[in-house]
Amino acid sequence: MGATQRQDGIVAGRLSPEAYVENFTDAYPPLDPHEALVAADRCYFCHDAPCIAACPTEIDIPLFIRQIQAGSPKGAAKTILNQNILGGMCARVCPTETLCEEACVRELAEGKPVQIGALQRFATDTLMATGEHPFTRADPTGKIVAVIGAGPAGLACAHRLALHGHKVVVVDGRAKPGGLNEYGIASYKTVDNFAQAEIDWLMKIGGIRIETGAMLGRDFTLDELRHDYDAVFLGMGLSGVNALMLDGAEDRLGNAVDFIATLRQSDDLSRLPIGRRVVVIGGGMTAVDAAVQSKLLGAQDVTIVYRRSQERMGASRHEQDHATASGVRLVCNAMPVRGVEGGVEFEYTQETPDGLHGTGETFTLAADQVLRAIGQTYGEAPGAVLDLERGKIRVDTEGRTSIASVWAGGDCAAGGEDLTVTAVAEGRDAAESIHRALSA
């Protein structure tokens, strides 16, 4: 018998083997064919549908749902993948409640949108289960493009470039491609190694080579790339994290993104240590994912502490509900002050027109593990001299940076929300821009 949930400290093996399996299965199981047909029948096939505009990749949602209705889920998948080559991942991870489903007219009518995300997953899963890749590469153009970063932005860019017949070399500093699809997204959203399966499927277009373990700035420079390639796309994501000093708790303080990456790469969750009482500081998607997964790993008490009001949390209402339903407690309007014996001291806050202030009133939460999830930053690769905008690479509407023949997209580029689907849209659009430039 290993540790239990009530054992103090950061220890592994708090749960039974079965509990780990059960906790880390699909949080939102896929629709079966019957459920998909019932769900598809609710779509009104709106004119100039608002859901399309609400999707950063502008998938023709009414069309793909009608294709499901009409018995062609594979055709539906092609409609989706035409716009969003990572439509399978997006179907799992998009906060649809703030995107397409929020715009659904049935959300307005009944407060119950058409299940667009789930239907998208049904269609793409159906196609991918066959192994078919419904796109064919154009004749080789003789051009070659470097893509830095194999996250959603880089992958979407690479696929679109390959489709147009260009040769693509994707370079990523980590051991596996996928970016946060592989290292960041909550495990219960993307079970069964889906990130790698999707990449294998995507690579079937041909013309793409992925090199892992090589870093821009460490192993080669941007100038070298510009010299060796016809164009360069930067999709490096956010490699830095915002700092948070917490005197007296350094030994218990970790970074939520690293915690999740370790969890995602673990092949034996029972060997992953977790605190009995975990406090997550932050209010976004990362905070929720870290908190929920702490709970799933067997932490007894998990609390998210956010410094502003609940309405201002970066995590959507749906995600907040997911957290609370998983047993996570939300504490808002409180900021950490210092670590104390066995816990962390917080001060309540108040939002005033001239900013956020502590009220002077404090409280202490018991904690043997503290995870900070207060945002990531663009960590500029050494030697790159790109114009920035609010700390990220400045790009125009096509993804062109301040340097000729260099494009950028995804989290590392300014503008747009930091979401998988936005990264895909930006990668795809940059590829079209590169293609136009190379064809000129």
Partner 1 sequence: MADLRNDFVGIKSPNPFWLASAPPTDKEYNVRRAFEAGWGGVVWKTLGLDPHIVNVNGPRYGVIHGADRRVLGINNIELITDRPLETNLREIKAVKRDWPDRAMVVSLMVPCEEVCWTDILRDVEETGADGVELNFGCPHGMSERGMGAAVGQVPEYIEMVARWCKAATRMPVIVKLTPNITDIRYPARAALAGGADAVSLINTVSSITSVNLDLMAPEPTIDGKGSHGGYCGPAVKPIALNMVAEIARDAQTRTIPISGIGGVTTWRDAAEFIALGAGNVQVCTAAMTYGFKIVQEMIAGLSDWMDEKGYATTEDFKGMAVPNVTDWQYLNLNYVTKARIDQDKCIQCGRCYAACEDTSHQAISMSADRKFDVIDAECVACNLCVNVCPVDGCITMEELAPGALDERTGRVVEAAHGDWTGHPNNPGAVAAE
Ligand X SMILES: Cc1cc2nc3c(=O)[nH]c(=O)nc-3n(C[C@H](O)[C@H](O)[C@H](O)COP(=O)(O)OP(=O)(O)OC[C@H]3O[C@@H](n4cnc5c(N)ncnc54)[C@H](O)[C@@H]3O)c2cc1C
Per CB under 6 A, does 217 bind ligand X?
yes
| Cβ–Cβ < 8 Å for 269, 294 | no
Q: If 0-12 CB within 10 Å is exposed, 13-18 middle and 19+ buried, where does residue 41 land?
A: exposed
Buried b (16+ CB within 10 A) or exposed e, 321-340: ebbeebebebbbbbbbbebe
Residues 6+ apart with CB under 8 A from 202: 85, 86, 133, 155, 159
Q: How far is the CB of 322 from ligand X (least distance, A)?
A: 11
Binding site partner of 152, from ligand X, partner 1, none, Cβ cut-off 5-8 A by kind = ligand X
Site for partner 1 in 97-156 (CB under 8 A): 105-106, 108-109
Number of shown-chain residues binding ligand X (CB under 6 A): 40
Binding site partner of 410, from partner 1, ligand X, none, Cβ cut-off 5-8 A by kind = ligand X
Per CB under 8 A, does 8 bind partner 1?
no
Number of shown-chain residues binding partner 1 (CB under 8 A): 15
Binding site partner of 185, from partner 1, ligand X, none, Cβ cut-off 5-8 A by kind = ligand X
Q: How far is the CB of 32 from partner 1 (least distance, A)?
A: 14
Q: How far is the CB of 176 from ligand X (least distance, A)?
A: 8
| Cβ–Cβ < 8 Å for 284, 318 | no
Distance CA 222, CA 347 (A): 45
The only residue of 148, 304, 430, 431 in contact with ligand X, by rule CB under 6 A: 148
Q: Residue 396: how many CB atoms within 10 A of its CB?
A: 11
104 vs 162, beta carbon nearer partner 1: 104
Distance CA 171, CA 245 (A): 34
Per CB under 8 A, does 311 bind partner 1?
no
Binding site partner of 108, from ligand X, partner 1, none, Cβ cut-off 5-8 A by kind = partner 1
**Long-range contact list for 51-55, CB < 8 A, 24+ apart?**
51/100, 51/101, 51/103, 51/104, 51/114, 51/116, 52/100, 53/103, 54/99, 54/100, 54/102, 54/103, 55/83, 55/84, 55/99, 55/100, 55/421
The only residue of 205, 410, 425, 434 in contact with ligand X, by rule CB under 6 A: 410
Site for ligand X in 346-375 (CB under 6 A): none
Which residues pair with residue 208 across a beta bridge?
A: 168
- Spell out, one character per residue from 46 to 65, where the chain touches partner 1: x when CB under 8 A holds, - when not: xxxxx---------------
Q: How far is the CB of 376 from partner 1 (least distance, A)?
A: 35
103 vs 431, beta carbon nearer partner 1: 103
100 vs 419, beta carbon nearer ligand X: 419
73 vs 233, beta carbon nearer ligand X: 233
Q: What are the tokens at 176?
A: 């596996």
Distance CA 420, CA 417 (A): 9
Distance CA 83, CA 95 (A): 18
77 vs 225, beta carbon nearer ligand X: 225
Q: What are the tokens at 27?
A: 């949080």
- Spell out, one character per residue from 274 to 313, where the chain touches ligand X: x when CB under 6 A holds, - when not: -----------xx--x------------------------
- Spell out, one character per residue from 183 to 212, where the chain touches ligand X: x when CB under 6 A holds, - when not: -xx---x-----------------------
Distance CA 381, CA 102 (A): 37
Per CB under 6 A, does 118 bind ligand X?
no
**CA–CA distances in Å: residue 103 to residues 34, 115, 250, 364:** 25, 12, 44, 41
| Cβ–Cβ < 8 Å for 211, 170 | yes
113 vs 173, beta carbon nearer partner 1: 113
Per CB under 6 A, does 216 bind ligand X?
yes
> What's the one-letter identity of residue 16?
S
Distance CA 284, CA 411 (A): 15
Q: Residue 257: how many CB atoms within 10 A of its CB?
A: 22
**CA–CA distances in Å: residue 37 to residues 31, 33, 42, 318:** 9, 6, 9, 24
**Scanning the structure block, which residue is given the tokens 């949080």?**
27
Binding site partner of 45, from ligand X, partner 1, none, Cβ cut-off 5-8 A by kind = partner 1
Binding site partner of 148, from ligand X, partner 1, none, Cβ cut-off 5-8 A by kind = ligand X
Point out which residues bind partner 1 (CB under 8 A): 37-38, 41-42, 44-50, 105-106, 108-109
Point out which residues bind ligand X (CB under 6 A): 93-95, 148-154, 171-174, 179-180, 184-185, 189, 215-217, 235-237, 239, 257, 260, 285-286, 289, 381, 410-412, 418-421, 423
